[in-house]
Protein backbone atom coordinates (compact mmCIF):
# COMPACT_ATOMS: atom_id res chain seq x y z
CA UNK A 1 0.00 0.00 0.00
CA UNK A 2 1.47 3.32 -1.07
CA UNK A 3 1.39 6.31 1.26
CA UNK A 4 -0.64 9.40 0.36
CA UNK A 5 2.64 11.20 -0.44
CA UNK A 6 3.77 8.48 -2.85
CA UNK A 7 0.35 8.54 -4.51
CA UNK A 8 0.53 12.35 -4.88
CA UNK A 9 3.97 12.14 -6.48
CA UNK A 10 2.75 9.49 -8.92
CA UNK A 11 -0.29 11.60 -9.83
CA UNK A 12 1.93 14.59 -10.53
CA UNK A 13 4.31 12.50 -12.65
CA UNK A 14 1.42 11.09 -14.68
CA UNK A 15 0.05 14.61 -15.21
CA UNK A 16 3.44 15.75 -16.50
CA UNK A 17 3.63 12.78 -18.83
CA UNK A 18 0.11 13.40 -20.12
CA UNK A 19 0.94 17.07 -20.80
CA UNK A 20 4.13 16.12 -22.65
CA UNK A 21 6.34 17.89 -20.09
CA UNK A 22 9.61 16.24 -18.95
CA UNK A 23 9.46 14.82 -15.43
CA UNK A 24 12.38 16.20 -13.36
CA UNK A 25 14.51 13.63 -11.62
CA UNK A 26 14.37 14.09 -7.87
CA UNK A 27 18.16 13.92 -7.48
CA UNK A 28 18.66 16.97 -9.75
CA UNK A 29 18.46 20.64 -8.97
CA UNK A 30 15.37 22.13 -10.61
CA UNK A 31 16.16 25.50 -12.26
CA UNK A 32 13.73 27.83 -14.04
CA UNK A 33 15.07 30.70 -16.17
CA UNK A 34 12.67 33.66 -16.28
CA UNK A 35 13.11 36.00 -19.29
CA UNK A 36 11.05 38.55 -21.19
CA UNK A 37 11.24 36.69 -24.53
CA UNK A 38 13.58 34.40 -26.44
CA UNK A 39 14.14 36.62 -29.46
CA UNK A 40 17.61 37.04 -30.95
CA UNK A 41 19.99 38.92 -28.68
CA UNK A 42 22.99 38.63 -26.40
CA UNK A 43 20.97 37.95 -23.25
CA UNK A 44 19.03 35.17 -24.94
CA UNK A 45 22.27 33.61 -26.21
CA UNK A 46 23.63 33.63 -22.66
CA UNK A 47 20.55 31.76 -21.41
CA UNK A 48 20.78 29.30 -24.30
CA UNK A 49 24.44 28.56 -23.55
CA UNK A 50 23.76 28.09 -19.83
CA UNK A 51 21.02 25.61 -20.68
CA UNK A 52 22.94 23.83 -23.44
CA UNK A 53 26.17 23.39 -21.50
CA UNK A 54 24.74 22.56 -18.07
CA UNK A 55 25.52 19.31 -16.30
CA UNK A 56 22.37 17.49 -17.43
CA UNK A 57 22.95 14.76 -14.85
CA UNK A 58 22.73 17.28 -12.03
CA UNK A 59 20.38 20.03 -13.26
CA UNK A 60 16.88 20.02 -14.75
CA UNK A 61 15.92 23.22 -16.57
CA UNK A 62 12.78 24.96 -17.80
CA UNK A 63 12.41 28.40 -19.37
CA UNK A 64 9.49 30.74 -18.69
CA UNK A 65 8.82 33.87 -20.77
CA UNK A 66 6.76 36.88 -19.72
CA UNK A 67 5.94 37.73 -23.34
CA UNK A 68 6.15 35.92 -26.65
CA UNK A 69 8.49 32.96 -26.67
CA UNK A 70 10.36 34.25 -29.72
CA UNK A 71 12.64 33.08 -32.50
CA UNK A 72 14.94 30.92 -30.37
CA UNK A 73 12.15 28.62 -29.17
CA UNK A 74 13.05 25.86 -31.64
CA UNK A 75 16.69 25.91 -30.51
CA UNK A 76 15.62 25.25 -26.91
CA UNK A 77 13.14 22.58 -27.98
CA UNK A 78 15.90 20.76 -29.87
CA UNK A 79 17.70 20.50 -26.53
CA UNK A 80 14.58 18.95 -24.99
CA UNK A 81 13.95 22.00 -22.83
CA UNK A 82 10.42 23.00 -21.88
CA UNK A 83 9.69 26.63 -22.87
CA UNK A 84 6.42 28.35 -21.93
CA UNK A 85 4.95 31.86 -21.81
CA UNK A 86 2.60 33.45 -19.29
CA UNK A 87 1.76 36.17 -21.83
CA UNK A 88 1.75 39.06 -19.36
CA UNK A 89 4.62 41.26 -20.58
CA UNK A 90 3.51 44.89 -20.44
CA UNK A 91 0.33 44.08 -18.51
CA UNK A 92 1.53 45.15 -15.08
CA UNK A 93 3.99 43.91 -12.48
CA UNK A 94 1.49 42.39 -10.05
CA UNK A 95 -0.47 40.59 -12.75
CA UNK A 96 2.76 39.14 -14.16
CA UNK A 97 4.03 38.15 -10.72
CA UNK A 98 0.76 36.37 -9.92
CA UNK A 99 0.88 34.49 -13.24
CA UNK A 100 4.49 33.42 -12.67
CA UNK A 101 3.72 32.36 -9.10
CA UNK A 102 0.81 30.21 -10.31
CA UNK A 103 3.05 28.54 -12.87
CA UNK A 104 5.88 27.93 -10.41
CA UNK A 105 3.45 26.53 -7.87
CA UNK A 106 2.71 23.65 -10.26
CA UNK A 107 6.41 22.93 -10.87
CA UNK A 108 8.99 21.60 -8.42
CA UNK A 109 11.54 24.46 -8.39
CA UNK A 110 14.75 24.88 -6.41
CA UNK A 111 16.24 27.91 -8.20
CA UNK A 112 14.57 30.76 -10.08
CA UNK A 113 17.13 32.50 -12.33
CA UNK A 114 15.95 35.86 -13.71
CA UNK A 115 17.44 37.95 -16.52
CA UNK A 116 17.06 41.73 -16.98
CA UNK A 117 14.97 44.15 -14.88
CA UNK A 118 11.35 43.23 -15.70
CA UNK A 119 11.76 39.46 -15.09
CA UNK A 120 13.81 40.28 -11.97
CA UNK A 121 11.08 42.43 -10.41
CA UNK A 122 8.33 40.01 -11.43
CA UNK A 123 10.27 36.95 -10.29
CA UNK A 124 11.14 38.42 -6.88
CA UNK A 125 7.50 39.30 -6.19
CA UNK A 126 6.39 35.86 -7.42
CA UNK A 127 8.69 34.23 -4.87
CA UNK A 128 7.09 36.38 -2.16
CA UNK A 129 3.64 35.26 -3.28
CA UNK A 130 4.72 31.61 -3.21
CA UNK A 131 6.06 31.96 0.34
CA UNK A 132 8.31 29.02 -0.49
CA UNK A 133 11.99 28.34 -0.15
CA UNK A 134 12.78 28.83 -3.84
CA UNK A 135 16.21 30.47 -4.13
CA UNK A 136 16.45 33.50 -6.42
CA UNK A 137 19.47 34.46 -8.53
CA UNK A 138 19.46 37.38 -10.95
CA UNK A 139 21.90 38.08 -13.79
CA UNK A 140 22.45 41.78 -14.44
CA UNK A 141 23.39 41.98 -18.12
CA UNK A 142 24.24 45.70 -18.19
CA UNK A 143 23.90 49.01 -16.36
CA UNK A 144 20.06 49.09 -16.62
CA UNK A 145 19.20 52.78 -16.46
CA UNK A 146 21.49 54.02 -13.64
CA UNK A 147 20.04 57.58 -13.91
CA UNK A 148 16.35 56.65 -13.75
CA UNK A 149 15.41 57.02 -10.07
CA UNK A 150 12.11 55.14 -10.43
CA UNK A 151 13.80 52.14 -12.06
CA UNK A 152 16.59 52.24 -9.49
CA UNK A 153 13.94 51.98 -6.78
CA UNK A 154 12.35 48.91 -8.40
CA UNK A 155 15.78 47.33 -8.95
CA UNK A 156 16.57 47.88 -5.27
CA UNK A 157 13.28 46.36 -4.23
CA UNK A 158 13.93 43.27 -6.36
CA UNK A 159 17.53 43.02 -5.16
CA UNK A 160 16.41 43.07 -1.52
CA UNK A 161 14.40 39.90 -2.25
CA UNK A 162 17.20 38.19 -4.20
CA UNK A 163 19.86 35.83 -2.90
CA UNK A 164 22.59 36.58 -5.47
CA UNK A 165 23.06 39.30 -8.10
CA UNK A 166 25.42 37.95 -10.78
CA UNK A 167 26.85 40.84 -12.83
CA UNK A 168 28.30 40.17 -16.28
CA UNK A 169 30.96 42.87 -15.80
CA UNK A 170 32.66 44.85 -13.04
CA UNK A 171 31.02 47.93 -14.54
CA UNK A 172 27.56 46.44 -13.95
CA UNK A 173 28.62 45.43 -10.44
CA UNK A 174 29.62 49.04 -9.71
CA UNK A 175 26.08 50.16 -10.59
CA UNK A 176 24.62 47.50 -8.27
CA UNK A 177 26.89 48.47 -5.37
CA UNK A 178 27.17 52.23 -5.72
CA UNK A 179 23.82 53.28 -7.21
CA UNK A 180 21.37 50.53 -6.32
CA UNK A 181 23.14 50.03 -2.97
CA UNK A 182 22.89 46.26 -2.84
CA UNK A 183 24.81 44.59 -0.01
CA UNK A 184 28.26 43.57 -1.20
CA UNK A 185 27.91 39.98 0.01
CA UNK A 186 25.06 39.46 -2.47
CA UNK A 187 27.03 40.62 -5.51
CA UNK A 188 29.15 38.38 -7.75
CA UNK A 189 30.89 39.13 -11.05
CA UNK A 190 30.33 36.28 -13.50
CA UNK A 191 31.68 37.21 -16.92
CA UNK A 192 29.89 35.92 -20.00
CA UNK A 193 31.75 33.18 -21.81
CA UNK A 194 31.78 31.69 -25.29
CA UNK A 195 32.26 28.27 -26.80
CA UNK A 196 35.87 28.61 -27.96
CA UNK A 197 35.63 25.53 -30.17
CA UNK A 198 33.36 27.50 -32.55
CA UNK A 199 35.88 30.30 -33.05
CA UNK A 200 39.31 29.03 -33.99
CA UNK A 201 42.00 31.61 -34.71
CA UNK A 202 43.78 29.02 -36.82
CA UNK A 203 40.85 28.87 -39.23
CA UNK A 204 41.15 32.45 -40.48
CA UNK A 205 40.71 32.43 -44.25
CA UNK A 206 43.10 34.13 -46.73
CA UNK A 207 42.53 37.87 -46.97
CA UNK A 208 41.61 39.70 -50.15
CA UNK A 209 43.45 42.80 -51.34
CA UNK A 210 40.76 44.94 -49.70
CA UNK A 211 41.11 45.52 -45.94
CA UNK A 212 37.89 44.53 -44.22
CA UNK A 213 36.33 45.52 -40.90
CA UNK A 214 33.22 43.96 -39.35
CA UNK A 215 30.54 44.98 -36.86
CA UNK A 216 28.05 42.48 -35.40
CA UNK A 217 25.16 43.82 -33.32
CA UNK A 218 21.47 44.60 -33.23
CA UNK A 219 20.68 47.66 -35.35
CA UNK A 220 19.34 49.85 -32.56
CA UNK A 221 19.96 53.53 -31.93
CA UNK A 222 21.35 55.09 -29.86
CA UNK A 223 22.52 52.02 -27.90
CA UNK A 224 24.90 50.62 -30.55
CA UNK A 225 25.41 54.03 -32.23
CA UNK A 226 25.83 52.73 -35.77
CA UNK A 227 25.39 56.34 -36.92
CA UNK A 228 28.82 57.27 -35.54
CA UNK A 229 30.16 54.00 -36.93
CA UNK A 230 29.17 54.80 -40.53
CA UNK A 231 30.45 58.35 -40.16
CA UNK A 232 33.78 56.87 -39.07
CA UNK A 233 33.79 54.46 -42.02
CA UNK A 234 33.34 57.45 -44.33
CA UNK A 235 36.51 59.00 -42.85
CA UNK A 236 38.40 55.72 -43.29
CA UNK A 237 37.33 55.40 -46.95
CA UNK A 238 38.58 58.94 -47.57
CA UNK A 239 42.06 57.66 -46.64
CA UNK A 240 41.79 54.03 -47.78
CA UNK A 241 39.39 53.97 -50.77
CA UNK A 242 39.45 50.15 -51.03
CA UNK A 243 38.24 49.69 -47.46
CA UNK A 244 35.30 47.30 -47.06
CA UNK A 245 33.03 47.12 -44.02
CA UNK A 246 30.47 44.46 -43.03
CA UNK A 247 27.51 45.24 -40.79
CA UNK A 248 25.92 42.04 -39.49
CA UNK A 249 22.61 42.15 -37.65
CA UNK A 250 19.07 43.42 -37.96
CA UNK A 251 16.76 45.68 -36.01
CA UNK A 252 14.50 48.73 -36.05
CA UNK A 253 17.29 51.08 -37.16
CA UNK A 254 18.00 49.25 -40.43
CA UNK A 255 16.02 51.57 -42.76
CA UNK A 256 17.65 54.68 -41.30
CA UNK A 257 21.06 53.05 -41.56
CA UNK A 258 20.51 52.21 -45.23
CA UNK A 259 19.55 55.83 -45.88
CA UNK A 260 22.61 57.10 -44.01
CA UNK A 261 24.84 54.75 -46.03
CA UNK A 262 23.47 56.28 -49.23
CA UNK A 263 23.85 59.83 -47.91
CA UNK A 264 27.49 59.17 -47.01
CA UNK A 265 28.07 57.57 -50.44
CA UNK A 266 29.20 54.29 -48.91
CA UNK A 267 27.12 51.89 -50.99
CA UNK A 268 30.25 50.38 -52.56
CA UNK A 269 32.08 50.07 -49.24
CA UNK A 270 29.51 49.06 -46.62
CA UNK A 271 27.48 45.84 -46.81
CA UNK A 272 24.40 45.54 -44.59
CA UNK A 273 24.09 41.77 -44.30
CA UNK A 274 21.16 41.49 -41.87
CA UNK A 275 20.82 38.53 -39.54
CA UNK A 276 23.28 35.73 -40.40
CA UNK A 277 23.90 32.26 -39.05
CA UNK A 278 27.49 32.14 -40.35
CA UNK A 279 28.95 34.85 -38.10
CA UNK A 280 32.02 32.77 -37.25
CA UNK A 281 32.91 32.47 -40.94
CA UNK A 282 32.34 36.19 -41.54
CA UNK A 283 34.61 37.04 -38.60
CA UNK A 284 37.27 34.73 -40.01
CA UNK A 285 37.19 36.62 -43.33
CA UNK A 286 37.67 40.02 -41.69
CA UNK A 287 40.74 41.92 -40.53
CA UNK A 288 39.37 43.57 -37.39
CA UNK A 289 36.19 44.04 -35.38
CA UNK A 290 34.51 47.33 -34.42
CA UNK A 291 32.01 47.99 -31.63
CA UNK A 292 30.65 51.54 -31.41
CA UNK A 293 28.22 51.16 -28.47
CA UNK A 294 27.22 53.98 -26.15
CA UNK A 295 26.13 51.41 -23.53
CA UNK A 296 27.26 47.83 -23.15
CA UNK A 297 27.14 44.96 -20.68
CA UNK A 298 29.62 42.33 -21.81
CA UNK A 299 29.18 41.84 -25.55
CA UNK A 300 29.23 38.24 -26.76
CA UNK A 301 30.19 39.37 -30.27
CA UNK A 302 33.19 41.17 -28.80
CA UNK A 303 34.27 37.90 -27.18
CA UNK A 304 33.65 35.99 -30.40
CA UNK A 305 35.77 38.41 -32.42
CA UNK A 306 38.64 38.16 -29.96
CA UNK A 307 38.35 34.35 -29.94
CA UNK A 308 38.70 34.41 -33.75
CA UNK A 309 41.99 36.26 -33.35
CA UNK A 310 40.75 39.65 -34.56
CA UNK A 311 42.12 42.90 -33.13
CA UNK A 312 39.31 45.08 -31.81
CA UNK A 313 38.31 48.71 -31.91
CA UNK A 314 35.72 49.42 -29.21
CA UNK A 315 34.29 52.30 -27.27
CA UNK A 316 35.41 52.71 -23.67
CA UNK A 317 32.00 51.92 -22.13
CA UNK A 318 30.44 49.23 -19.96
CA UNK A 319 32.33 45.95 -19.89
CA UNK A 320 34.34 46.66 -23.06
CA UNK A 321 37.55 47.60 -21.14
CA UNK A 322 37.33 44.26 -19.34
CA UNK A 323 37.68 42.52 -22.70
CA UNK A 324 39.86 44.97 -24.64
CA UNK A 325 43.14 46.09 -23.08
CA UNK A 326 44.15 49.21 -24.98
CA UNK A 327 47.26 48.63 -27.07
CA UNK A 328 47.43 44.93 -26.17
CA UNK A 329 44.52 43.18 -27.90
CA UNK A 330 42.81 46.21 -29.42
CA UNK A 331 42.18 49.93 -29.22
CA UNK A 332 39.68 51.76 -27.01
CA UNK A 333 38.16 55.07 -28.09
CA UNK A 334 35.67 57.53 -26.57
CA UNK A 335 31.98 56.90 -27.37
CA UNK A 336 30.20 58.98 -30.01
CA UNK A 337 33.49 60.13 -31.58
CA UNK A 338 33.67 59.17 -35.29
CA UNK A 339 37.08 60.82 -35.71
CA UNK A 340 38.78 58.74 -32.99
CA UNK A 341 36.95 55.64 -34.21
CA UNK A 342 38.27 56.20 -37.74
CA UNK A 343 41.81 56.88 -36.52
CA UNK A 344 41.86 53.56 -34.68
CA UNK A 345 40.64 51.65 -37.75
CA UNK A 346 43.23 53.31 -39.98
CA UNK A 347 45.93 52.45 -37.45
CA UNK A 348 45.05 48.74 -37.67
CA UNK A 349 44.95 48.87 -41.49
CA UNK A 350 48.36 50.56 -41.76
CA UNK A 351 50.09 48.52 -39.05
CA UNK A 352 49.21 44.90 -39.89
CA UNK A 353 52.00 43.41 -37.78
CA UNK A 354 50.76 45.22 -34.69
CA UNK A 355 47.20 44.20 -35.55
CA UNK A 356 48.29 40.55 -35.80
CA UNK A 357 49.96 40.70 -32.39
CA UNK A 358 46.79 42.20 -30.93
CA UNK A 359 44.67 39.44 -32.44
CA UNK A 360 46.84 36.72 -30.95
CA UNK A 361 46.76 38.42 -27.55
CA UNK A 362 42.98 38.60 -27.76
CA UNK A 363 42.63 34.90 -28.48
CA UNK A 364 44.92 34.07 -25.54
CA UNK A 365 42.82 36.24 -23.22
CA UNK A 366 39.63 34.46 -24.28
CA UNK A 367 41.17 31.06 -23.52
CA UNK A 368 42.38 32.26 -20.14
CA UNK A 369 39.36 34.24 -18.90
CA UNK A 370 36.23 33.85 -21.04
CA UNK A 371 35.77 30.14 -21.73
CA UNK A 372 32.05 29.25 -21.59
CA UNK A 373 32.80 26.19 -19.47
CA UNK A 374 34.15 28.45 -16.74
CA UNK A 375 31.02 30.62 -16.83
CA UNK A 376 28.66 27.64 -16.63
CA UNK A 377 30.67 26.12 -13.77
CA UNK A 378 30.41 29.37 -11.78
CA UNK A 379 26.64 29.50 -12.14
CA UNK A 380 26.22 25.85 -11.23
CA UNK A 381 28.36 26.39 -8.12
CA UNK A 382 26.08 29.28 -7.16
CA UNK A 383 23.00 27.10 -7.72
CA UNK A 384 24.35 24.40 -5.42
CA UNK A 385 25.36 26.88 -2.74
CA UNK A 386 21.94 28.51 -2.79
CA UNK A 387 20.09 25.20 -2.71
CA UNK A 388 22.17 24.11 0.29
CA UNK A 389 21.41 27.30 2.25
CA UNK A 390 17.74 27.25 3.15
CA UNK A 391 15.94 30.24 4.60
CA UNK A 392 12.41 31.29 5.39
CA UNK A 393 9.85 32.85 3.04
CA UNK A 394 10.58 36.29 1.61
CA UNK A 395 8.75 39.34 2.92
CA UNK A 396 8.55 42.72 1.27
CA UNK A 397 11.01 45.26 2.72
CA UNK A 398 10.11 48.85 3.48
CA UNK A 399 11.85 51.23 1.06
CA UNK A 400 11.33 54.97 1.08
CA UNK A 401 11.79 56.23 -2.51
CA UNK A 402 12.78 59.82 -1.67
CA UNK A 403 15.31 58.78 0.94
CA UNK A 404 16.61 55.43 -0.26
CA UNK A 405 17.32 56.53 -3.83
CA UNK A 406 19.67 59.40 -3.00
CA UNK A 407 23.09 58.38 -4.46
CA 155, CA 176: separation in Å to the nearest integer? 9
Q: What is the pLDDT of residue 200?
A: 77
Residues ≥6 apart with Cβ < 8 Å to 67: 36, 37, 85, 87, 88, 89, 90
Cα-Cα-Cα-Cα dihedral of 249, 251, 34, 20, to 10°? -80
According to the model, what pLDDT value does residue 395 have?
A: 62
Q: How far apart are the C-alpha atoms of 131 and 134, rounded to whole Å?
A: 9
The domain 196-369 having CATH identifier 3.40.630.10: the answer here is no
Does pLDDT of 179 surpass 60? yes
Cβ partners under 8 Å of residue 341, min gap 6: 228, 229, 232, 290, 292, 313, 315, 333
pLDDT at 3 > cutoff 50? no
Task: Classify residue 112 by its DSSP letter.
Answer: E
Q: How far apart are CA 345 and CA 352, in angstroms?
A: 11
- Distance, in Å, from the CA atom of 207 to the CA atom of 244, rounded to the nearest integer, reads 12
What's the chain's Rg over C-alpha atoms? 23
Q: Looking at residues 330-345, what average pLDDT do you find?
A: 98
Same fold, 21-193+375-404 and 196-369: yes
The reported pLDDT for the residue numbered 24 is 46
Q: What is the pLDDT of residue 18?
A: 45
Supply the pLDDT for residue 20. 43
C-alpha 153/C-alpha 378 separation (Å) is: 28
Among residues 51, 69, 53, 70, the alpha carbon closest in space to that of 61 is found at 51
- Determine what percent of the chain falls in helix, strand and coil, rounding each to the nearest 5: 45, 15, 40
CA 333/CA 317 separation, integer angstroms:
9
DSSP string, 285-303: T-SEEEE--SS-S--HHHH
Q: How confident is the model at residue 404 (pLDDT cuts 50, 70, 90)?
A: very low
Cα–Cα dist 335/332, whole Å: 9
What average pLDDT does the segment 225-238 reach? 98
pLDDT bin (cut points 50, 70, 90) of residue 402 is: very low
The arithmetic mean of pLDDT across residues 361-379, rounded, is 96
Confidence class of residue 377 from pLDDT cuts 50, 70 and 90? Answer: very high
Q: What tens digit of pLDDT does each residue of 58-109 get? A: 999 999 999 999 889 999 999 999 999 999 998 999 999 999 999 999 988 9
What is the reported pLDDT for 121?
96
* Coil vs helix vs strand at 86: coil
Q: What is the DSSP string of 145-198?
A: -TT-HHHHHHHHHHHHT-SEEEESSHHHHHIIIIIS---GGGEEE----B-GGG
pLDDT at 208: 57
Q: Residue 401 has what pLDDT?
A: 43
Mean local confidence (pLDDT), 128-139: 89
> Quick one: which of 178, 180, 60, 172 has its CA closest to 115?
172
Quote the CA–CA distance of 104 and 109 in Å, as a whole number.
7
Entry pTM: 0.85
pLDDT tens digits, 277-317 = 999 999 999 999 999 999 998 999 999 999 999 999 999 99
- Which tens digit of pLDDT belongs to each residue from 21-67? 444 445 789 999 999 999 878 899 999 999 999 999 999 999 999 99
| Cβ-contact 355, 290 below 8 angstroms | no
Q: Among candidates 241, 272, 238, 244, which has minimal Cα distance to 258?
A: 272
Q: What CATH code would you report for 21-193+375-404? A: 3.40.50.2000
φ, ψ of residue 213 to 5 degrees: the values are -105, 160
Residues 42 and 8: beta-carbon distance below 8 Å: no
| Confidence band for 147, pLDDT divided at 50, 70 and 90 | confident
| Per-domain residue ranges of the chain | 21-193+375-404, 196-369
Residues 129 and 94: beta-carbon distance below 8 Å: no
Task: Name the average pLDDT for the chain.
Answer: 88
Q: Which pLDDT does position 150 carry in this prediction?
A: 87
Residue 274: enclosing H or E segment and its boundaries?
Answer: strand 270-274
DSSP letter for each residue of 382-406? HHHHHHHS-----------HHHHT-
Q: What is the mean pLDDT of residues 261-271?
A: 98
Residue 346 to residue 366: CA distance in whole angstroms: 25
Identify whether the C-beta of residue 165 lies closer than 8 Å to the C-beta of residue 116: no
Per-residue model confidence (pLDDT) at position 27: 73
pLDDT value at residue 13? 39
Residue scoring higher pLDDT (1 or 116): 116
For residues 6-26, average pLDDT: 44
Q: Tell me: pLDDT of 2 over 70.
A: no
Amino acid sequence: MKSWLERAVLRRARADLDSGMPVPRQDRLRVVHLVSTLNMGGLEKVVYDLVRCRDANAIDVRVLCLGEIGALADDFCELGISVESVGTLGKGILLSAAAVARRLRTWPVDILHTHNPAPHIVGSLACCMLRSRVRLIHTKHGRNYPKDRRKIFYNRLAASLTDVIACVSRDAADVVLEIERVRREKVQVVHNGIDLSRFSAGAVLPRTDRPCGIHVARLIYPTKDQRSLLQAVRLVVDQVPTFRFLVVGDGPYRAELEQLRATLQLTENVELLGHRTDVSQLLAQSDFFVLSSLYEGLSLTLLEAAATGLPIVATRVGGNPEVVEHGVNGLLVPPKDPVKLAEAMVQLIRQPLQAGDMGRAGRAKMVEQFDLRRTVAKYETLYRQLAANSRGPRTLPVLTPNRDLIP
